Amino acid sequence: MSDAYLAIEGGRVLEARTRAPGTARGELVFTTAYTGYEESLTDPSYEEQVLTFSYPLVGNYGVREERFESERVHPRAAIALELTDDLADWLAEQGVPAIDHVDTRDLVTEIRDEGAMKCGIAAGPDATPEDAREELAECKGMSEHVDIGAQVSVEESYTVEGGGEFDVALIDCGAKGSITSSLVERGADVHVLPYDTTPAEIEELDPDVLFVSNGPGDPANFEAARVLVEEFVGEIPVAGICLGQQIVARALGGETEKMTFGHRGVNQPVRDLRSGKVVMTTQNHGYTVAEPGDLEVTQINVNDDTPEGLESDELGVITRQYHPEANPGPHDSLDFFDDVLGMARTQAASPSAD
């Protein structure tokens, strides 16, 4: 017997089984990842979204905190064909509604055909289809959250020490923990800073690298980070991942646009235009760079030719649309972090360096 309902744009209401009770609304998206459900559910880039898992069984290896990418679950709700008790119980403890017994193959196909759409969920013994429709109506009436960074960024800065060879200013627009650990493992001290950090604060810190993180939503909503890139590009090396690539591109004359259903999964093929090499990558984004501005496109997505890597040797900029630090993988592109610190090393050795 169904006790949960999913209402989606277009008018359909799907029946489901409650695994964690509650109501939710948000943008309905999917991930094709076979593993890494803990990492996906704690990825800040999923803030204000409802996450559908295309893989049929989710939760089969339990829930372990050491695999989390942040301190909490970020999707508004989770949908699967089948959720294990361990995962369902954890989501219930987190206050995040979860439903299963949904034909996710059909749902993912609809998202691919129609694009990411808004939805409403009602789950629990007293839930009705009308409750789900009301959540959808509320969601459709909401404007996009222009200050979403406040929900995912740190409120106060902190430093993770990694040996002190370089100081990296990581602008936290919803950063995954793996970004920090990847830099720390390479000897950098990482200063994690709020998304609205000012140029004066960066000047006081005097970092060797300005690094703009991943995060949720439209890059146009992260104006403070764009200003930082404009202010310091050409003076110190600049790097970015995912949303960070989009923010950097916008700061350097580029344009971004919303994708039909985005790239979310661990099997996105990326071709390096210089070497011709193709690597598999993990991705999670609904926007992309439409025009690169002053940057050169160095990598593209094999499936749709969208920019996956932007660079400028002259300006000292390197960005990636995918997640080189992906956990649980693939790790084909971890050398990105070596390249980022390599820019700092080169600048430090330059005769013109202070």
Active-site amino acid positions = 242, 323, 325
- The answer to whether 284 is a known ligand-binding residue is yes
Dist CA 116 CA 114 (whole Å): 7
- The answer to whether 94 is a known ligand-binding residue is no
**Residue 102 amino acid letter:** V
φ, ψ for residue 167, nearest 5 deg: -105, 120
- The answer to whether 286 is a known ligand-binding residue is yes
CA angle 299, 148, 47 (to 5 degrees): 70
φ, ψ for residue 283, nearest 5 deg: -140, 155
- The answer to whether 45 is a known ligand-binding residue is yes
Can you name the residues that pair with 256 across neighbouring β-strands? 289
Positive or negative, the CA dihedral 151, 244, 229, 207 is positive
- The answer to whether 234 is a known ligand-binding residue is no
Residue 7: partners with Cβ closer than 8 Å, 6 or more residues away: 13, 14, 119, 120, 121, 129, 132, 133, 135, 136
- The answer to whether 217 is a known ligand-binding residue is yes
Dist CA 222 CA 224 (whole Å): 6
- The answer to whether 293 is a known ligand-binding residue is no
Closest CA to 80 of 110, 61, 49, 101: 101
φ, ψ for residue 345, nearest 5 deg: -65, -40
- The answer to whether 215 is a known ligand-binding residue is yes
φ, ψ for residue 160, nearest 5 deg: -110, 115
- Residue ranges of the binding site: 45, 215, 217, 243, 246, 284, 286-287
- Binding site residue list for L-glutamine: 45, 215, 217, 243, 246, 284, 286-287
